[in-house]
Structure 1
Amino acid sequence: MIQQIYPQVFHNFRYELNKDMQIAAAHFIPHEAAGKCANMHGHTYFVNITVAGDELDESGFLINFQQLKKIVHGKLDHTLMNDHTDLFSNARAEDFPTTEVVARKIAEIVQAQLDTMPNRPTCVQVFVRESPTSYVVYRPKAGNR
């Protein structure tokens, strides 16, 4: 079981859901300034996704935990992130599979699913821990939700 304290995101929604998961994946950063990270290597990423909203769906959820796991873990676990050319690019720095970009792309994947739901929840934060000493928090700007 993952037991982690995450930075809190402040919002005015009535409900907040958090889903933890681990993703084992490899990546490389295609830039000479990345140092050793330019070589293919792997991590067990610890991910926390925060979804908030005011309305529950017809089954009483903001979103089902299993659905979140399927769209994120099901896509990225045990893969080479660079192979997901629908998410990452070896040509544009803002799309290299750095931890910052991984967090943003997870938020985008989640929000795309949330946008299809009648209760319209919002992904307000994605936390990605790459190693015991390094993590990133991504929070979409309110106007981009």
Structure 2
Amino acid sequence: MLQQIYPAPHHDYEFELNKDMHFAAAHYIPHEDAGDCQNVHGHTYFANITIGGNELDDSGFLINFKHIKTLIHKRFDHSLLNKDNRFSDKESMNFPTTEAVAKAVWEIVQEHLDTLEHQPRCLQVFLRETPTSYVIYRPKKGRVS
């Protein structure tokens, strides 16, 4: 796994959890401005998910790391992102660009966190598409999933 220091979001939570993972997935961007990316191609994405909270669950976790991996890795690894219901070939805001995938990861994680009694929050998703290109998604202050 790539060892890296990620840009940290500002927050006042007592606990901050970071989970690194990678997944291999293909995608294409069906827009003329995408150039060669209009063709199906793949990446090994590296993701860092940052979660904050003040309370721990009954087992002493903010969230168990394996739950985060299950939510994201199981869903996206060895997939064609364009076939995931979070993305569409019709609306440019829903093409599986790195920006849209980072936002989708945040939404998936936060939807799960919203079911937890102690209410941790997903603070940011760092998603590296290539060794030289990455996106950070942080929801606007006050955003509810």
Equivalent runs, 1:1-145 vs 2, <5 Å: 1-84=1-84, 86-145=85-144
TM-score for the superposition, normalised by structure 1: 0.97
Task: Output the amino acid matched with 1:31.
Answer: H
CA distance in structure 2 between the aligned counterparts of 1:27 and 1:138, rounded to whole angstroms:
19
Q: Give the Å deviation of 1:2.
A: 2.4
Matched pairs, number? 144
TM-score for the superposition, normalised by structure 2: 0.97
Deviations along 1:110-145, whole A, 9 cap, x unmatched? 000000000100000000000011000000112113
Unmatched tracts of structure 2, length 5 or more: none
Q: Give the Å deviation of 1:4.
A: 1.1
Give RMSD over aligned pairs: 0.7
Unmatched tracts of structure 1, length 5 or more: none
Task: Output the amino acid matched with 1:29.
Answer: I
CA distance in structure 2 between the aligned counterparts of 1:44 and 1:25, rounded to whole angstroms:
7
Task: Output the amino acid matched with 2:59.
Answer: S
Percent same amino acid at aligned positions?
Answer: 58
CA distance in structure 2 between the aligned counterparts of 1:26 and 1:4, rounded to whole angstroms:
24
